[in-house]
Amino acid sequence: MVHNCVFCRIVAGELPSTKLYQDDLVTAFRDIHPVAPTHILIVPNRHMNSVNDVLPEDEPALGRMFVIARHLAEAEGISQLGYRLTINSGSHAGQVVFHLHMHLMGGQRMRHPLG
Ligand code: AMP
Ligand code: ZN
């Protein structure tokens, strides 16, 4: 764990969060500044700064993130109308927290990010 990483500290339970799911590989919690009615972050428990740090041995955690995204979308009642999964990697993409995370956003129609 990286002690000055806010998401490592959430995973470890050292910082408060609205945790929705946690297992040995991944943790999901509500984004503190939601941009949609549902805005959840799903993170690997292992610290990786960005997609640049992904290793072959991370495949189970990264795959689990999609399975949990599917389950949380169903639990939030947004599966049918749809939702967006976003991973920002690096400064040009707007990544602010450098612990890899997947945004799960839905509950309203969203502008297409590519215009
Ligand atoms: P990104 O721009 O992809 O790095 O997104 C970082 C996200 O983390 C933003 O949507 C923030 O609102 C969210 N965030 C930052 N700190 C916290 C926190 N302590 N708990 C929950 N979400 C957070
Ligand atoms: Zn971290």
78 contacts 85 by C-beta, under 8 angstroms: no
What is the whole-number distance in angstroms between the Cα of residue 34 and the centre of ligand 1? Answer: 9
What is the whole-number distance in angstroms between the Cα of residue 97 and the centre of ligand 1? Answer: 6
Residues known to be catalytic: 101
Query: How much is the pLDDT for 114?
Result: 87
Q: Domains along the chain?
A: 6-106 (3.30.428.10)
Q: Is 96 in the pocket of ligand 1 (CB under 6 A)?
A: yes
Summarised one tens digit per residue, pLDDT across range 31-82 is 999 999 999 999 999 999 999 999 999 999 999 999 999 999 999 999 999 9
Q: Is 89 in the pocket of ligand 1 (CB under 6 A)?
A: no
Kindly report whether the global pTM for this prediction surpasses the value 0.85: yes
Ligand positioned closest to the Cα atom of 5:
2
- 26 in the Ramachandran plot: left (φ > 0), alpha (ψ -120 to 50) or beta? beta
